[in-house]
Amino acid sequence: MKVRVVLVGCEYDENLGLVARAMKNFGLTDLALVKPEADKSSDKAISRAMHAKETLKKAKSFGSLEDALKGMDFAVATTARSSKNAGSGRKAISPELLAEKYRDSGAKIAIVFGRESNGLTNSEIEKCDFIVSIPASKAYPVLNLSHAAVLVFYELFREKPKTLFNVAGKETKSAVTMLFADLADATGRIRNKKAVVGAFRHLLARAPATDKEVRAVAAVLSESLKKITPKKQKREH
């Protein structure tokens, strides 16, 4: 598993430095900053980074979350407010479960953290494949950015990979999702197709499936679509 740490709208120099330090502690080097308010070159950021100054120096800035996620197989939104997504049917998983699912894969995963003041927006969360939430007291579940980062990094780091498998890439999963959407449309019986296709996409995103497995699903969907489509056209004539 290859990890990119993405900080969206990081507001405080100190937190930026502390996240870089936490990355160094757990062997992470790829830091992306989306429209940061914090200054990575400030004395506060550099002093908090300690021996991770190089991580700060090499951090890349992006104008949008979409740009920061390019080249990644999966994007993980971290949030303490899972209630924001209650209507979407998406449930948050724990950092431990995230590590269990993807630790042994060769996937490129972006871990996305939000602003210190109000986290990620619903729109930003929707751009991610799934959600991770750290179990905490209901009385005060919102963790400091750097503390949340440490907990997530620890879970990813605490066990070394034993075996690797070739996880299906985003392009392969996008292709099979399009086939699923075409098949759903061809049946003419699926209500709320957008929600159904969205559910399939999120299901596929959570599964650490191999490229071979996803292509097998694609083959079945493709053949099913071929059988359904002529019948539908014949009825229409």
Report pLDDT digits (tens) over 180-230.
999 999 988 888 889 999 999 989 888 878 888 999 999 999 999 998 876
The domain defined by 2-157 folds into Alpha/beta knot (3.40.1280)
Percentage with pLDDT > 90 across the chain: 64
Residue 236 identity? E
Q: Residue 170 and residue 107: Cα distance in Å, rounded?
A: 10
pLDDT digits 0-9 by tens, 127-148: 999 899 998 888 898 899 999 9
Q: What is the pLDDT of residue 89?
A: 52
SS3 assignment, position 77: strand
Q: b/e string for 125-156 if b means 16 or more Cβ within 10 A?
A: bebbbbbbbbeeeeeeeeeebbebbbbbbebb
Residue 134 C-alpha from the chain's centroid:
15
pTM for this structure? 0.70
pLDDT digits 0-9 by tens, 22-32: 999 999 999 99
Percentage with pLDDT > 70 across the chain: 89
Which pLDDT band holds residue 103 (cuts at 50, 70, 90)? confident
Domains of the chain, residue spans? 2-157, 170-236
* Statement: residue 66 has pLDDT above 70: yes
What is the mean predicted confidence (pLDDT) over 172-184? 93
Which pLDDT band holds residue 8 (cuts at 50, 70, 90)? very high
10 Å Cβ neighbour count for 110?
A: 24
Task: Compute the half-sphere exposure of residue 7: CA atoms within 13 Å on the CB side of its CA.
Answer: 33
Choose among 25, 57, 23, 21: nearest CA to 40: 57
What is the mean predicted confidence (pLDDT) over 107-122? 95
